[in-house]
Amino acid sequence: MSHGNPPPEGLSRSHRYFCYVCGTLLPHKVTPNDSFQCRKCLTHTYLSWFIDMKVRFGSENVNDCEITNYQTLPIFDKILADAQKACQAEEVLRKAGEFLPICDNIDGPSVKRDCPYCGNGTMTYVTMQLRAADEGQTVIYTCTECKQKEVENT
């Protein structure tokens, strides 16, 4: 599908999975215009950019190149778990959206907590019982500056 957007400078195969602007793991849902949209910065990554893309090495001598299987790195499990938590949190926000009141004022009491989006040190919160009764509650934090929301299951 032609979208008319040329690929950005420095695009690599890893950008098929991670946003080339902010590095966020891209969703697996393709939009109607044949692209993935980053959940964080809303940048589109078009699948057509990766057609016929060759793997490039930093050295002309392939023997000098070390190809790392990232799944064997110790940090991989944490990165994967964090990405899965983010996806679950987004799903909770989507489900809770119909129950949350729409208002521009502050949502609930404030707490000292750093916003992962803008770094602000104060967030407000509301608690909800969105899961089974024998599981903990869901806390939805809202930044007092950028109004972004963060979900924590307790």
- State the binding site for Zn(2+): 19, 22, 38, 41, 115, 118, 143, 146
Answer whether 138's CB lies under 8 Å from 128's CB: yes
Q: Which residues are annotated as a binding site?
A: 19, 22, 38, 41, 115, 118, 143, 146
Q: Which burial class, exposed, middle or buried, applies to 148 when counting CB atoms under 10 A from its CB (0-12, 13-18, 19+)?
A: middle
Expressed in angstroms, the distance from the first to the final Cα of the chain is 44
Residues in the chain, total: 154
* Tokens standing for residue 152: 């924590």
Answer whether 124's CB lies under 8 Å from 108's CB: yes
- Which amino acid belongs to residue 36? F
Which CA distances in Å does 75 have to 17, 70, 71, 94?
17, 9, 9, 29
